[in-house]
Amino acid sequence: MSAAILSMEAVGLSFGDKRVLDNLTFSVRRGEVFGFLGPSGAGKTSTIKLLTRQLSRDGGRISLLGRPLERATEADYERVGILSDTSALYDRMSIADNVELYARLRGVGRRRVPMLLQRLGLAEDAKTLVKHCSKGMRQRAALAAALVHEPELLFLDEPTSGLDPAARAEVHKLLADLRARGATVFLTTHDMAEAETVCDRVAILADGAIAACDDPDELKLRYARNRIAVRTRTRGTLELSKDPADVAKLPELACAGELLAVHSDEPNLEEVFLELTGREF
């Protein structure tokens, strides 16, 4: 098992009388895409702000890049990229100028800028001022700025919000590339299909704590229903349980030439999410 690149242990956070995070505990392995899922207002963005020291916790322990958060250095944060609701772009500068500015601030050359703009579908709009950009264009430009220095650890807060399907698919390819080169991605998203597609593991946040954390397929199996749908040649679709007595009927149906298809009634990740949180996104 890979070593944890970041972790939280019994972390609490309150805004006045409102308890946002309560005994929050999880860890992220080096080199994985980790999905952090929860209903709106559950504390996902606040968690990222704690990990990036934009907020201070009430209690508990946080580790980043192998050391306690309070001992993280400026050099450590040079290894981190962030796309969040506070990611800044300058309205009176072009897309390309914004990304090149971030490259200079990060102490890297502009060599990656054309490639990132091309990958994110911004090459033809590179000279467009940000103030004239759509929400989707702004989101892609901010993502390019977060990636320009090839971060070892990347925090992405709703990275595909406002993107069309083609742009969203390109972001997913970029995430696969990041994983292939060993980078770690901490991802929040409301898109459960996206989480199933790109995440190695997901944590589901409910009432300020982790309700479940595992590989998406394992979570779906854990919450699978005790039903099997069996399509037959002449008897229609039969619903069987997964109990041994019902499962024993499958060989009988097959020997009789009745068996056409067998489907386990697994929930998708969205259904697991709703069962664990009891809330919409």
Full DSSP string of the chain: -PPEEEEEEEEEEEETTEEEEEEEEEEEETT-EEEEE--TTSSHHHHHHHHTTSS--SEEEEEETTEEGGG--HHHHTTEEEESTT----TTSBHHHHHHHHHHHTT--STTHHHHHHHTT-GGGTTSBGGG--HHHHHHHHHHHHHTT--SEEEEESTTTT--HHHHHHHHHHHHHHHHTT-EEEEE-S-HHHHHHH-SEEEEEETTEEEEEE-HHHHHHHT--S-EEEEESSS-EEEE-SSHHHHTHHHHHHHTT-EEEEEE----HHHHHHHHH-S--
Order across the sheet with 153-157: list the strands: 80-83, 153-157, 184-188, 33-37, 201-206, 209-214
Whether residue 269 is contained in a domain is answered as no
Do 165 and 52 sit in the same domain of this protein?
yes
Q: What is the mean pLDDT of the chain?
A: 90
Percent of the chain beyond pLDDT 90? 58
Whether residue 54 is contained in a domain is answered as yes
Q: What is the mean pLDDT of residues 83-103?
A: 90
**pLDDT tier at 9 (50, 70, 90 boundaries)?**
very high
Encode pLDDT of 144-153 as tens digits. Answer: 999 999 999 9
Q: Can you say how many angstroms the Cα of residue 187 is from the centroid of all Cα atoms in its chain?
A: 3
Do 17 and 104 sit in the same domain of this protein?
yes
pLDDT at 19: 92
Do 142 and 237 sit in the same domain of this protein?
no
pLDDT at 277: 87
Statement: residue 126 has pLDDT above 80: yes
**pLDDT tier at 281 (50, 70, 90 boundaries)?**
very low
pLDDT at 226: 62
Q: What is the mean pLDDT of residues 103-130?
A: 93
Whether residue 60 is contained in a domain is answered as yes
pLDDT at 162: 82
69 against 41, higher pLDDT:
69
Do 65 and 124 sit in the same domain of this protein?
yes
202, HSE (Cβ side, Cα atoms, 13 Å): 28
Encode pLDDT of 197-240 as tens digits. Answer: 999 999 999 888 999 999 999 998 888 776 778 889 998 898 88
pLDDT at 268: 86
Do 109 and 129 sit in the same domain of this protein?
yes
Statement: residue 154 has pLDDT above 80: yes
Do 96 and 157 sit in the same domain of this protein?
yes
Q: What is the mean pLDDT of residues 34-44?
A: 91
Do 103 and 242 sit in the same domain of this protein?
no
pLDDT at 1: 45
Whether residue 123 is contained in a domain is answered as yes
- Domain, as residue range, for 244: 224-264
227 against 111, higher pLDDT:
111
Q: Is 121 exposed, middle or buried (0-12, 13-18, 19+ CB in 10 A)?
A: middle
Domain count within the chain? 2
Do 86 and 144 sit in the same domain of this protein?
yes
pLDDT at 230: 86
d(CA 208, CA 194): 23
Q: What is the mean pLDDT of residues 60-69?
A: 94
Whether residue 272 is contained in a domain is answered as no
Here the CATH number for the domain that contains residue 9 is 3.40.50.300
Do 156 and 253 sit in the same domain of this protein?
no
8 A C-beta contact, residue 122 and residue 134: no
**pLDDT tier at 86 (50, 70, 90 boundaries)?**
low
Amino acid at 258: E
Percent of the chain beyond pLDDT 70? 97
Do 121 and 252 sit in the same domain of this protein?
no
Whether residue 230 is contained in a domain is answered as yes
Do 238 and 129 sit in the same domain of this protein?
no
**pLDDT tier at 186 (50, 70, 90 boundaries)?**
very high
Do 207 and 231 sit in the same domain of this protein?
no
Whether residue 154 is contained in a domain is answered as yes
Encode pLDDT of 235-274 as tens digits. Answer: 889 888 777 887 888 888 899 998 888 877 778 899 889 8
Whether residue 270 is contained in a domain is answered as no
**What sign for the dihedral angle of Cα 47, 50, 54, 56?**
positive
